[in-house]
Amino acid sequence: MKPWWPRIIVKPRVRLTRPSFGMPTRPPDTVIFGLLFVVVLFVLGGNIYTLVRSPPAIAGSQSGAPILIAPGIDQQLGMEGIVASVIIMVGVSGLGLVYYGSKYVFQPGYATRLVVLGMLMTGVSYLIFNYLWSMKVGLF
């Protein structure tokens, strides 16, 4: 069967494929964990409370010296939330070192150093946090 169009017109032999739209690649797990870790530290430090209050809390004594911890548990300064977040981060990092050290069963010296360092970091952060809390409630 002959085509009905003239021989000058050539039917192109082109295969058109549909474009494929794939899902975007997922970021690495380390990046996701880091972002979630920072968000959790931000919330645990009480920084949401500091941001919601208006104006942002910046305090100084009558002599002009900065106040780092506001007295009373019904108020919080901006720096106080940041310090609390950093202390929590040090404590959680210490717990992470204890966990990481437990993976080195066949290298007891290295495992012991990691566990001791992790326990020291966690203990020091606990003591600092308790000291700051006692200053806040007025025990010191």
Over residues 55-74, the pLDDT tens digits come to 555 677 778 777 778 888 88
Over residues 2-54, the pLDDT tens digits come to 667 677 777 778 888 888 887 778 888 889 999 999 999 999 888 888 888 76
Domain boundaries, the chain: 52-131
Instruction: Please give the residue that has the higher pLDDT: either 109 or 24.
Output: 109
pLDDT reported for residue 107:
94
Please state the separation of Cα 132 from the chain's center in Å: 22
Q: Which of 46-60, 87-101, 107-121 has the lowest mean pLDDT?
A: 46-60
pLDDT reported for residue 1:
60
pTM given for the model: 0.71
